[in-house]
Every structure is written in structure tokens, then in C-alpha cells.
Chains A and B, each alone.
Chain A
Amino acid sequence: MKSGFIILALITLLLLSYGLYQALVAAPTEATMGEVQRIFYYHVPSAWTALLCFLANFVASLWFLAGRSGRADAVAVATAEVGVVFCTVVLLTGPLWARPVWGIWWAWDARLTSTLVLWLIYVGYLMLRKFSVGGPNPMLAAAFGVFGAFNAVFVFMAIRWFRTQQPQPVFGGGPKSGIDPQMRYALMANWVAFLALAILLIWLRYTLQRVRQAVEEAHAMKSLVEPEVRTRR
């Protein structure tokens, strides 16, 4: 288990270095936006990774609601938290790209607003888990997670359903969509690297959650046993 984690960490490090090289050196400079377009190689893969994490949270939440499994709960919290991390990157790198290209930091269009709402939903999910009255409430959080996944679909489809400030879909957006093959390669290299990073972070967070569950269980067992011992005395 430990050696598997170390191998994955090393592979992730290599993939991230290769992705960085592809993004900053190998990919050609875009004709109209110039160097700032290279933010695309971090911004877009982060967004895709965040959406996948929220999708995984949806599956884990359903799994938890169906079977009350501690493993499902740990997967749900790990995917939600890592999804929030990647979504934070999206919300921070987006304005840094928008400012020099659009001349504005932010636009309240369907894509940007729904992404912010998505981030707020999952931050709310994590807060609900952490600060619920009477301790963590995985049941309520799981139901909340299922609801949040619908917004993730809305975020993905927003540029297809509405006219937005965002560019139209680069992939699957009809005959006029698409990018230079070298740019697509750099984008995919970074996405693979970010996916590996996400798996690594989810693995770490999952392990932490399982240990936390074990400690909480031990606390609960101890508090059940201790009063009995006191009564016998």
C-alpha cells in the first residue's frame, strides 16, 4: 500500500513536470492572446478534474445512502474536498486569464456564476460535515452531495445552453471547434497529470478519513465502556 503510494507520487511528479514543459515550452504561442493563453493548460484541466471529483462524490454519496458504508463516506468527503481544491484553482486562474483577454476580471454569465455556485455548494457540503450540531452528519451531507452534482452538469453544459462571455466549446462544439494538435497534446498531458494528482490527493484524504473514523469509533467504544466500569466500582 505504502510503496504503491510512493510509486504513484513519483509518477505524478514526472507527469506534472512533463505537463509544465508542454504548457510553457512545447505548445505554440496563440496568435491573438499571446503568452497569457498558456493559462488554458492549467485552468481547463483543473476544471475537468474538479467536475470528475464532484461526479465521484455523487456516486459515493449514492453508495453511502444505499448502504451507510464508512468507506463510501470516506470516498465522498475525499472527492468533495479535492474537487473544491481544483475548483478553487479554476476560480482563481480564470480571472487572471480574463483580465488581459476580456479586459474584465469577472462576468456574471451562466458559466462563471454556476461555477461559483458549484464551489459554494461543495464548501457548504464540507462545512455541513464539519460543523453540524451533534457532530458530523454524513447522511445529510450525502443528500446535499447528490443535489450538488446536478449543478456540476449545469456548469459543463452552460456554454452549450446559453450565450456566455466564455468561449464556445473547444471540443465537441461542432465543425468550427477544435485547437491546434500540439496545443491539444499539451492540454491532455496536463489533464493526465492533474488527474494523477487528484487520485493521489484523494488517496491521502481517504486514508485520513478512515483513520479518523477508527479513532472516533474507539472514542465512542471507550465512552460506552467507561461508565460501566465506574458503575461496577
Chain B
Amino acid sequence: MKFLYAAYGITWLVHIVYLIILTRGFQQVRDEAEELTRK
């Protein structure tokens, strides 16, 4: 059972980490756009 739970856990971890990376990407682009308008 530990292999089964590990596989399911890892699957969700990979997707959650990717969602966090995407969220950071949006934040970074928003900051860049704000900086551009400020200049």
C-alpha cells in the first residue's frame, strides 16, 4: 500500500508544484508590467 499512496501523493505533488510555479510566473509578469507603466 505504501507504493500506491506514494504514487498518488507524488502525482498530486507534481501538479501542485507546477501550479505554484505558474502562479509565481503570473506575479512576476504583473510586477514587470507595473514597473513598465511606472517608468
* CB pair B36 A42 closer than 8 Å: no
A residues in contact with B25, CB < 8 Å: 208, 212
* CB pair A88 B14 closer than 8 Å: yes
User: Interface digits, A39-65 against B, CB 8 Å rule (1 contact, 0 not)?
Assistant: 100110010000000000000000000
| A89 close to B (CB within 8 Å) | yes
Our pick among A36, A39, A85 for the contact of B18 (Cβ within 8 Å) is: A85
B residues in contact with A46, CB < 8 Å: 11
Distance A38 CA – B8 CA, assembled complex (angstroms):
9
Task: Kindly identify, within residues 1 to 39 of chain B, every residue whose CB is under 8 Å from any CB belonging to chain A.
Answer: 1, 3-4, 6-8, 10-11, 14-15, 18-19, 22, 25-26, 29, 32-33, 36, 39
With A46-B11, A215-B36 as contacts: A96 and B6 at CB distance below 8 Å: yes
A residues in contact with B39, CB < 8 Å: 222
* CB pair A215 B32 closer than 8 Å: yes
* CB pair A42 B15 closer than 8 Å: no
* CB pair B29 A42 closer than 8 Å: no
With A212-B29, A215-B32, A215-B36 as contacts: A43 and B7 at CB distance below 8 Å: yes
21 contacts between A and B (CB under 8 A): A35-B4, A39-B3, A39-B4, A39-B7, A42-B8, A42-B11, A43-B7, A85-B15, A89-B11, A92-B7, A92-B10, A93-B10, A93-B11, A201-B15, A201-B18, A201-B19, A208-B29, A211-B33, A212-B29, A215-B32, A215-B36
